Amino acid sequence: MINKPDFYAVSLAEDCMSSAVEIYKMSYVDTKECRSYYRRTGLNVKSIWPKYTVCAKAHRGGECLWQSGVFLVTKHEKRWKLIGFGVYGPGCSSPARFLDYGMYQQWVRNNIQRIGRPAITRLAGNHIVMRRRLTTVQRFGPCDPEETKVEIYTDHSSIQPVSAKPRNAYYNFTILAGYEYSCIVFRANQDIGEEPTIHLKRMCIAKHIACYQFTTLQIDFEVTIGYFDKVEYHINVYGIELKLLDAKRMNVLSNARHYHPPIDKTYTPYIYSGWGIG
């Protein structure tokens, strides 16, 4: 869908410890031609072929072996766009295989959107467990021992009505972005009658679309407790406080350590003309 694209392969230095980036001008290789090359060289092993691939070869570099993770990109309408990720194997002037990112873009986007999404487990009508981790892996079920090592918040309330009849109590609860919540336990108990019930309702005062996003700075919930007689409500929050770098302080420190040339010397300014392409 891109008219006459210019392809480039971008890779780090061989030791991956340098910030230097190598750029290769690439040419698209037809799928049939690519598979023919791998058959001729005896590398056409079905188990190492990704399901969706794009093939391209460099204009320079002779024969070389690329590690996994080389990027295949194109510049279209003044924007760099990712085409695929390199697969371990021949590179440079040999047809190199790249995982076709276009076939997985939606999957990647969905997983990114899942980061920080609360996972809620109802163990009983009066017992709810919530987790919110900065990972796409959601855990469910009761709290595991390793999740309850550090308690960062606890609360206990008791309601003693004058007479026994169905009632509701409301409790507002907010989780903040500065913490990783390994396990949050909501639990209610009463002396007589049936067990009380607990319900969580997401509260959102922003626009409709924002109510369905979970990567915001804070998420507000309304906790509704349905009870009949004397009831006790417990909440236990376990997790850790995130240690985040202060970007402003890091810039100040970096500038303080940066070498500044003396002002009594004359320097020839470097004119940036784009990436060098062989």
CATH, residue 14: 2.40.10.10
| % of the chain at pLDDT higher than 90 | 21
Strand partners, 235: 155, 186
> 163-213: per-residue pLDDT in tens?
888 899 998 988 887 788 899 999 999 877 788 999 998 887 665 555 555
The string of DSSP codes covering 74-120 is EEETTEEEEEEEE-SEEEETSPEEEEEGGGTHHHHHHHHHHTT--EE
What is the Cα–Cα distance from 187 to 167, expressed in whole angstroms? 17
Number of domains observed in the structure of the chain: 2
What is the residue type of 69? G
On the question of pLDDT at 268 being above 90, the answer is: no
> 219-264: per-residue pLDDT in tens?
888 999 999 889 999 999 999 887 766 777 777 777 777 666 555 5
Give the containing element (helix H, strand E) for 40: helix 31-40
> Within 10 A of 38 (CB to CB), how many other CB atoms are there?
19
> 42-80: per-residue pLDDT in tens?
777 777 777 888 888 888 777 777 878 888 998 877 788
Confidence of residue 277 (pLDDT cuts 50, 70, 90): very low
My answer on whether 144 and 69 are in the same domain is no
My answer on whether 196 and 177 are in the same domain is yes
DSSP assignment, residue 67? P
My answer on whether 81 and 128 are in the same domain is no
My answer on whether 164 and 98 are in the same domain is no
Structural domain ending residue among the three candidates 73, 103, 133:
103
Q: Is residue 1 assigned to a domain?
A: no
What is the Cα–Cα distance from 260 to 252, expressed in whole angstroms? 14
> 122-178: per-residue pLDDT in tens?
999 999 999 987 776 788 999 999 999 999 999 998 988 888 888 999 989 888 877
The string of DSSP codes covering 182-242 is EEEEEEEEESSSSPPEEEEEEE--S-TGGGG---SSEEEEEEEEEESSSEEEEEEEEEEE-
Q: Please tell me whether residue 180 adopts helix, strand or coil conformation.
A: strand
Q: Record the pTM.
A: 0.55
On the question of pLDDT at 104 being above 80, the answer is: yes
What is the Cα–Cα distance from 240 to 150, expressed in whole angstroms? 7
Report which of 151, 148, 118, 122 is spatially closest to residue 132, judged by C-alpha positions. Answer: 118
My answer on whether 135 and 72 are in the same domain is no
My answer on whether 139 and 99 are in the same domain is no
* Beta strands at 119-124 and 167-176: parallel, antiparallel or unpaired: unpaired
Give residue 50's pLDDT.
77
My answer on whether 174 and 234 are in the same domain is yes
On the question of pLDDT at 81 being above 50, the answer is: yes
On the question of pLDDT at 93 being above 80, the answer is: yes
* Beta strands at 96-100 and 7-12: parallel, antiparallel or unpaired: unpaired
Query: Which two structure tokens, joined as six digits, stand for 263?
Result: 């002002």
Taking CA atoms, 138 is separated from 11, 85, 249, in Å, by 33, 27, 34
Tell me how far the alpha carbon of residue 174 is from its chain's centroid. 22
My answer on whether 237 and 118 are in the same domain is yes
Q: Is residue 174 assigned to a domain?
A: yes
Tell me the residue range of the domain where 131 lies: 114-241
Taking CA atoms, 151 is separated from 44, 117, 155, 156, in Å, by 55, 21, 11, 14
